C-alpha cells in the first residue's frame, strides 16, 4: 500500500511526542488505516538543537515553506504554535489540497471559521482535537458522540496551570503568589503567566467548545473573562466552609437558541464531580437534553497526551482519505448567533462584604437586594479579630446578572458598606 506522507511543522515537546507515537506505534496505526505512515519532512526553528529522538537529518529543514510546498506530502501536522505566519502556512497548505492537523487553540479560536471555510472549499480535513484539553477527546465527543443530542451546558476546567494553583491554595492553604511561583518552578506556568492566570487561554478553549457544542460561530469577544489573580486564600477558606471548591470554570450555556459563555473563578458545590478535579488535570462536563450529565477527565497538556490526540486525528484523516470523504465531516456552524442578554443570565452569587458594625446595617443591605428582586439563600455575619469592620457573607439564590450588577452599583453608594471584598459565581 502506498504510504501516507506527513509534514511536521515544529519539533518541540509535542512534535517529539508525535514522532515517538507514529514511529513506535507504526504497526498498530498502519493496521487501522491500511498503509504505512511516514513523517516525510520536519520544519524546526533550530536545526542544530540536540534532541532526544533519532530523526534522519535529511528530513529536517528550517523553512516551513519547504514542507508546505512538498508535493509528496498529504497531511500537515502543525505543532509550532503562533498565530500570524502559522495561519498563512495553513491556508497555503489547504490551497495545495493538504489536510491539516493542529494543536493550536489560539489560531482556531481566532481564525477557526476562516480556516474551516477554506478547508470546505478545498475538500480538506482540518482536525484540532489537541487544541482543547490535550489528551481528552472532547472535540470528537462533541462532534460525533453527541451528534444526536442538543447540548445545553458545557462546564470546563480547561487550564491546568490555574487548576494547579487553586488546588495548592485549597489543599495546602498556599497564597496565590506562592502557588504561582511553584507552578512556574515546575514548568506549568510561563514566566509571563498572564494568558493562563487571567483566563485568556481558557477563554480560547471555551470559544472552540462553544462553537462545536452549540453549532454557532462563537468568537473570542463573546466570552466574558475573569482570571484567578484576585482570588485570595481567605476566599477559598470561605468557599470550603460553605461546602464549595473554587475552580476556574469555563461555563457555556445555551437555552432557546441563545447562548452565553464565561470564564471566571467559581465556587462549585464540593459534591459535584468537577469539584474533585485537582492539580494540572482538566475535565469537561457536558449536559445534553437527552443524554443528561456526562464528564470527561484527563491530562490537559504534556507531550504524550497531546500527541495522542494529534495522531488520533491523523488516523481519522487517513481513513477519510481512503474513503474519499475528506472535508465532508467538518462542523460548519449553521445557527444564527444569538447571545443572551444579562437579563437572561441567571446564577447564584457569593459576596463577602466589609461593613460598619452598627445597628440597622443588615437591614439596609437586604433592602438593596429586595429592590432589585434578588432573593437570598444565606446570610452570615462573622467577627474577624484582624478586621475592625464586620464581615458579612451572603449567598444569593439564582439571580439575573443584570440585577446583580445593579445591586453592586447600588452598594458603591451605600455608606455602611466599606468594601465588596469578594464576589463569585456559585454553581451546583
Site for ligand HSE (CB under 6 A): how many residues? 7
Closest approach of ligand HSE to the CB of residue 13, in Å: 11
Q: Which uninterrupted H or E stretch holds 194?
A: helix 194-197
Residues acting as catalytic residues: 205
Q: Kindly report the length of the chain.
A: 428
Closest approach of ligand HSE to the CB of residue 397, in Å: 33
Whether 268 and 278 have beta carbons less than 8 Å apart is answered as no
Interacting stretch for ligand HSE, rule CB under 6 A, among 79-87, 120-128, 159-167, 207-215? Answer: 159-167
Among residues 160, 227, 250, 288, the one that binds ligand HSE under rule CB under 6 A: 160
Name the residue nearer to ligand HSE (CB basis): 160 or 327: 160
Whether 129 and 139 have beta carbons less than 8 Å apart is answered as yes
> CA torsion sign, 197 to 198 to 199 to 200?
negative
Instruction: Say whether 244 sits in a helix, a strand or coil.
Output: strand
What is the Cα–Cα distance from 250 to 244, expressed in whole angstroms?
17
Q: Would you count residue 106 as binding ligand HSE (CB under 6 A)?
A: no
Closest approach of ligand HSE to the CB of residue 48, in Å: 27
Closest approach of ligand HSE to the CB of residue 18, in Å: 16
Closest approach of ligand HSE to the CB of residue 227, in Å: 12
**Ranges within 263-282 binding ligand HSE (CB under 6 A):** none
Closest approach of ligand HSE to the CB of residue 201, in Å: 5
Q: Would you count residue 161 as binding ligand HSE (CB under 6 A)?
A: yes
CA-angle at 32, arms to 27 and 35, nearest 5°: 70
Interacting stretch for ligand HSE, rule CB under 6 A, among 22-30, 154-162, 252-260, 265-273? Answer: 154-162
What is the Cα–Cα distance from 189 to 95, expressed in whole angstroms?
36
Whether 77 and 101 have beta carbons less than 8 Å apart is answered as yes
User: Residue number with the shortest CB distance to ligand HSE?
Assistant: 161
Nearest residue to 253 via CA among 209, 198, 295? 209
Among residues 16, 86, 159, 400, the one that binds ligand HSE under rule CB under 6 A: 159
Measured CA to CA in angstroms, residue 292 lies from 153, 154, 414, 428 at distances of 10, 12, 43, 15
Interacting stretch for ligand HSE, rule CB under 6 A, among 57-65, 155-163, 347-355, 393-401? Answer: 155-163
Q: Which runs of consecutive H residues, i.e. helices, occur in 247-386?
A: 303-323, 361-371
Among residues 125, 129, 196, 253, the one that binds ligand HSE under rule CB under 6 A: 196
Instruction: Say whether 103 sits in a helix, a strand or coil.
Output: coil
Residue window 114-153: x/- pattern of binding to ligand HSE, with contact defined by CB under 6 A: ----------------------------------------
Name the residue nearer to ligand HSE (CB basis): 303 or 353: 303
The β-bridge relationship of strands 346-355 and 399-400 is antiparallel
Nearest residue to 278 via CA among 371, 384, 167? 167
**Ranges within 300-319 binding ligand HSE (CB under 6 A):** 300-301
- Where along the sequence are the contacts to ligand HSE (CB under 6 A)? 159-161, 196, 201, 300-301
Amino acid at each position: 500500500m502506498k504510504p501516507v506522507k506527513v509534514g511536521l511543522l515544529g519539533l518541540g515537546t509535542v512534535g517529539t511526542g508525535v514522532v515517538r507515537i507514529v514511529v513506535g506505534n507504526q504497526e498498530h496505526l498502519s493496521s487501522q488505516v491500511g498503509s504505512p505512515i511516514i513523517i516525510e519532512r520536519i520544519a524546526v526553528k533550530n536545526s542544530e538543537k540536540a534532541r532526544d529522538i533519532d530523526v534522519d537529518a535529511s528530513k529536517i529543514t528550517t523553512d516551513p515553506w519547504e514542507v508546505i510546498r512538498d508535493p509528496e506530502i498529504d497531511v500537515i501536522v502543525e505543532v509550532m504554535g503562533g498565530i500570524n505566519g502559522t495561519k498563512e502556512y495553513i491556508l497555503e497548505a489547504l490551497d495545495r489540497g493538504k489536510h491539516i492537523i493542529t494543536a493550536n487553540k489560539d489560531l482556531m479560536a481566532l481564525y477557526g471559521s476562516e480556516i474551516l471555510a477554506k478547508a470546505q472549499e478545498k475538500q480538506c480535513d482540518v482536525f484540532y482535537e489537541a487544541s482543547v484539553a490535550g489528551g481528552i477527546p472532547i472535540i470528537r465527543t462533541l462532534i460525533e458522540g453527541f451528534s444526536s443530542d442538543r447540548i445545553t451546558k458545557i462546564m470546563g476546567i480547561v487550564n491546568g496551570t490555574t487548576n494547579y494553583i487553586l488546588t495548592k491554595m485549597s489543599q495546602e492553604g498556599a497564597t496565590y503568589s506562592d502557588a504561582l511561583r511553584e507552578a512556574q518552578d515546575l514548568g506549568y506556568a510561563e514566566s509571563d503567566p498572564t494568558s493562563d492566570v487571567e483566563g485568556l487561554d481558557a477563554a480560547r478553549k471555551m470559544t472552540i467548545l462553544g462553537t462545536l457544542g452549540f453549532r454557532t460561530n462563537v468568537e473570542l469577544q463573546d466570552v466574558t473573562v475573569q482570571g484567578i489573580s484576585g482570588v485570595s486564600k481567605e476566599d477559598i477558606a470561605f468557599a470550603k466552609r460553605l461546602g464549595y471548591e473554587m475552580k476556574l470554570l469555563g461555563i457555556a450555556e445555551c437555552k432557546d437558541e441563545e447562548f452565553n459563555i464565561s470564564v471566571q473563578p467559581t465556587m462549585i458545590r464540593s459534591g459535584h464531580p468537577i469539584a474533585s478535579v485537582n492539580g494540572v488535570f482538566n475535565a469537561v462536563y457536558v449536559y445534553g437534553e437527552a443524554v443528561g450529565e456526562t464528564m470527561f477527565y484527563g491530562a490537559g497538556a504534556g507531550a504524550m497526551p497531546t500527541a495522542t490526540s494529534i495522531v488520533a486525528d491523523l488516523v481519522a484523516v487517513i481513513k477519510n482519505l481512503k474513503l474519499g470523504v475528506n472535508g465532508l465531516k467538518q462542523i460548519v456552524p449553521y445557527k444564527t448567533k444569538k447571545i443572551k442578554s444579562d437579563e437572561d443570565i441567571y446564577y447564584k452569587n457569593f459576596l463577602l462584604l466589609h461593613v460598619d458594625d452598627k445597628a440597622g446595617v443588615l437591614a439596609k443591605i437586604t433592602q438593596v437586594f429586595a429592590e432589585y428582586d434578588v432573593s437570598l439563600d444565606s446570610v452570615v455575619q462573622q467577627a474577624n479579630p484582624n478586621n475592625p469592620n464586620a464581615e458579612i457573607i451572603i449567598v444569593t439564590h439564582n439571580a439575573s446578572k443584570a440585577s446583580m450588577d445593579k445591586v453592586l452599583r447600588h452598594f458603591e453608594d451605600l455608606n455602611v458598606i466599606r468594601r465588596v471584598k469578594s464576589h463569585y459565581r456559585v454553581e451546583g
